Amino acid sequence: MGEQPIFSTRAHVFQIDPSTKKNWVPTSKHAVTVSYFYDSTRNVYRIISLEGSKAIINSTITPNMTFTKTSQKFGQWADSRANTVYGLGFPSENHLLKFAEKFAEFKEAARLAKEQSHDKMELTSTPSQESASGELLSPVTPESINGTDDEDGGATPGTPQHTEPRPDPPTPTLPFSHSSTSINKHWEAELAALKGNNAKLTAALLESTANVKQWKQQLAAYQEEAERLHKRVTELECVSGQTAVIKAQKTDLNQTIEELQATLGAKEEELERLKAEMEVANEFQQQKESLTQKLQATEERNQNLEARLSALEQTVENTQQERETFRSHLRSLLQLLDGKIFELTELRDTLAKLIESS
């Protein structure tokens, strides 16, 4: 059956600097898909993340692993087989909590699988024992992770690590910038959709308004015709002695009046529906204005953050220049001190020679 993805999320991937063991090194240029995989044939769980054709995470979950939440949107775990510590920067705390919950669930499943495998080996007493770390894991195709990932080899075997370093998470400039750009695109798409809906509703409203005017004119004509017919009926009843004919005409006129009244009721219902559509159009207009304000606020916030970033970069550059200047001054003072010490040494030797000669 091979490995199958059972849970996926998106996050920025980091690894601990192997030289310092303190600083985080980003391994992905942007947020990538991070997935849990389950191999039913070997009963093992893995965390896999690929960027293009490069595997940036390939970690087999063991019972000794622990996922640590170091901030609201950042978590880490140590993989002794890969001899590294992985860090993930999530877009929200809910994503982090869901990932941590799945980590604990699959860790417990790995522990139970290990115990079952141990009990089974004791019952069968088979001399051949295969270690999960020594086997070749099933390949993971790019199609198995949203069509963006590629295959990578198994993890390096080693002893599980019990203690995990807790480095500070990296400066979230890249994740926040990416998140702000996604928010801007989302609001722009929403704004464009609302503009299109607003234009359609405006056209429908104009057409309906024209129809309402026409219906009002027809209604007035129907009312005038009904009044004229009522007058005609009255005149016929007064003048003519042919009661049967008058009654028949009256019945026809009454039916005509009822039809006109039914038509009038339908037109009034249509008018109420148009009023409701106009209220919906007004609500869409208010939503459009609200989204426009939010978009402007987001753009202003982005500009402020870019200005702050530029100022911080300038500050770092100035600090480096001041540090180099200070180092050069120290070198000059050291050279001057060396010269003075050399002069004092010569003076001492001269005084010693004078004392010996005297």
What does the pLDDT read at residue 159? 32
What does DSSP assign to residue 149?
-
3-class secondary-structure state, position 90: coil
Q: Given a cut of 60, is residue 147 above it in pLDDT?
A: no
- Give residues with Cβ within 8 angstroms of 172, minimum separation 6: 73, 89
Task: Tell me how far CA of residue 112 lies from CA of 55, 106, 265, in angstroms.
Answer: 28, 10, 72
Average pLDDT for the chain: 79
pLDDT tens per residue, range 154-189 = 333 333 333 333 334 544 333 434 456 777 777 878
Q: What number is the average pLDDT over the span 118-126? A: 61
Supply the Cα-derived Rg of the chain in whole angstroms. Answer: 41
206's tokens = 């104009």
Query: Rounded to two decimals, what is the model's pTM?
Result: 0.36
77's tokens = 């775990």
pLDDT tens per residue, range 315-337 = 999 999 999 999 999 999 999 99
350's tokens = 């001269």
pLDDT tens per residue, range 301-311 = 999 999 999 99
84's tokens = 């590294």
Residue 61 near residue 6, CB atoms below 8 Å: no
What does the pLDDT read at residue 86? 95
107's tokens = 């860790």
The β-bridge partners of 24 are 16
What does the pLDDT read at residue 82? 86
